[in-house]
Amino acid sequence: MPDHKPVIAIFDVGKTNKKLLLFDKYYKVVFEKSHRIPEIKDEDGFPCEDMSALKKWICNSVEDLLAQKDFEIAAINFSAYGASFVLVDGDLNPVAPMYNYLKPFPNQLLKAFYSKYGGELNFSIATASPALGNLNSGLQLYRLKYQQPAVFLRTKYALHLPQYISGIITKEFYSDLTSIGCHTALWDFNADEYHKWVKEESVLEKLAPIVSSSSTTEKKTNSGIIKIGAGLHDSSAALIPYLRQFSEEFILISTGTWSISLNPFNKQHITAEELKSDCLCYLQYQGSPVKASRLFLGNEHELQLKRISEHFNVNEIAILEFDYDSMLNTKNTKLFLVVENEIPQFEFRNQDLSQYHHFSTAYLDLLFDLVRMQLWSTGIILKNTSVRNIYVDGGFSNNKIFMQLLAAAFSQYKVFAAAIPQSTALGAALAIHDSWNDQLLSDNLIELRSISS
């Protein structure tokens, strides 16, 4: 007989993979299913999300969830990638494609905007984000107003993707601080409110009311009432398990293609120097700023690993699985030194591989180079804080030698490899924990492994 376990369903929508996960009351994954939706093209021929297919998948999945007999769906929430607006009419129907955040932004329009609102640097400092074109999603609405005024007029609300997905089920219009605070150019971090341009350009009226990330809407079904969350930006959602689990201050280094260092305890306003070093601020689910620095670390590792593999004619797996332990003592830890107030560059990419007699010495030099860059990037947001613990999750947390070198580089800190299944989806579930779950949170949601240098 089915046990009808109460569960929370999470839709975790990435650009490539869309996932549906079910967590039980102890936040163990009891069901997981992935879905891929091919991109379509907007009116300019640029790739974009197929919103019709996405809506169909969401609706069909919810219908299937409510029809199944194995679990009791107590709540639903959403996480999705940021910097993307869905422009909808009063019936939640899209009035235009969801334009890709990678689409080039017209240079003349950008110059006009910055000229009107205090210059690029001052504006970037106020909104705590580098100038990123379409990735500053608020500027997508500025562009819409001047390049597609008819569509701008037809737009009832501009919803960030997580809130649009939530609206598909709730039929409600909401905005959420984690999406607003994700390098959108909408939020003035100094004033802790929307930047003045948002009102002056009549964009404010296109933005739905802000609700708490922990708020829910009730949906009646044949089997009872389900609590529906408003959704969160994925990077902010991934931080929530750490904020709920640990009381001591920490930095999270989330590794993958990008390595993003997140410091929820650095309260200093962002500076011009930090902006030049690819720093920005997010808003975490409780509304306070999170200072972050970004590094294209995983991408660099992938490119250079391939270069080593091809030069030595050896499989990449063999390189990664080689025993490097006995070689570490031969290295000079001064390689970790970075010059103050100087933006370093990846140096290994310029190394002549013919100087190496074996792939192992080349790969170890690559790791030293990556750790040196990570030391610099994370060090930017460590300043002026009392953080002692550094947690590393994602792909590099499983690279034994990288982690040992990182612990040596951060010798004054405690460095941990963190294992947390589906951190983004788990964060979205934890954001609305109090609305559906009567269990106390477990102390072992995150598995930590202390790393010695």
In the chain, what are the domain boundaries? 5-230, 233-419
What's the length of the chain?
453
Give the model's confidence band at 165: pLDDT under 50 very low, under 70 low, under 90 confident, else very high.
very high
Average pLDDT over residues 220-236: 91
Query: Residue 3: pLDDT band by 50, 70, 90 thresholds?
Result: low
- Per-residue confidence (pLDDT) for residue 336, from 0 to 100: 63
Of 342, 337, 345, residue with least CA distance to 375: 337
Say which range, 134-138, 160-164, 265-269, has the weakest mean pLDDT: 265-269
Looking up tokens 């709920």 gives: 244
Q: What is the pTM of this model?
A: 0.89
| DSSP 8-state secondary structure symbol assigned to residue 383 | T
Mean pLDDT of 130-151: 96
Beta 71-80 vs 47-48: how paired, if at all? unpaired
Distance, CA of 234 to CA of 12 (rounded, Å): 8
Which listed CATH number (3.20.20.100, 3.30.1330.60, 3.40.50.12780, 3.30.420.40) goes with 233-419?
3.30.420.40
What per-residue confidence (pLDDT) applies to 373? 94
Confidence of residue 327 (pLDDT cuts 50, 70, 90): confident
240 pLDDT higher than 90: yes
Per-residue pLDDT tens digits for 46-101:
999 999 999 999 999 999 999 998 999 999 999 999 999 999 999 999 999 999 99
Equal CATH topology for 5-230 and 233-419: yes
User: Per-residue pLDDT tens for 385-444?
Assistant: 899 999 999 889 999 999 999 999 999 999 999 988 889 999 999 999 999 999 999 888
User: Residue 287 carries which DSSP code?
Assistant: S
**Average pLDDT of span 113-127:** 96
- Whether the per-residue pLDDT at 2 is higher than 60: the answer is no
CATH assignment of 5-230, among 3.30.420.40, 3.30.390.50, 3.90.1150.10, 3.10.20.30? 3.30.420.40
> What was the pLDDT predicted at 57?
98
The arithmetic mean of pLDDT across residues 166-181, rounded, is: 95
C-alpha dihedral over 351, 353, 357, 358, to 10 degrees? 100
User: What was the pLDDT predicted at 1?
Assistant: 36
Mean pLDDT value across residues 377-391? 92
Q: Using CA of residue 50, residue 52, residue 53, residue 59, what is the dihedral sign?
A: positive
Beta bridge partner(s), residue 216: 229
Contact between 111 and 188 (Cβ < 8 Å): no
User: For residue 257, what pLDDT band results from cuts at 50, 70 and 90?
Assistant: confident
State residue 280's pLDDT score: 94
Q: What pLDDT band is residue 340 in, cutting at 50, 70 and 90?
A: low
pLDDT exceeds 60 at position 8:
yes
On the question of pLDDT at 112 being above 50, the answer is yes
In this structure, the dihedral spanned by the alpha carbons of residues 165, 47, 296 and 187, taken in order and rounded to 10 degrees, is: -50
Q: Is the pLDDT of residue 337 over 70?
A: no
Per-residue pLDDT for 370 more than 60? yes
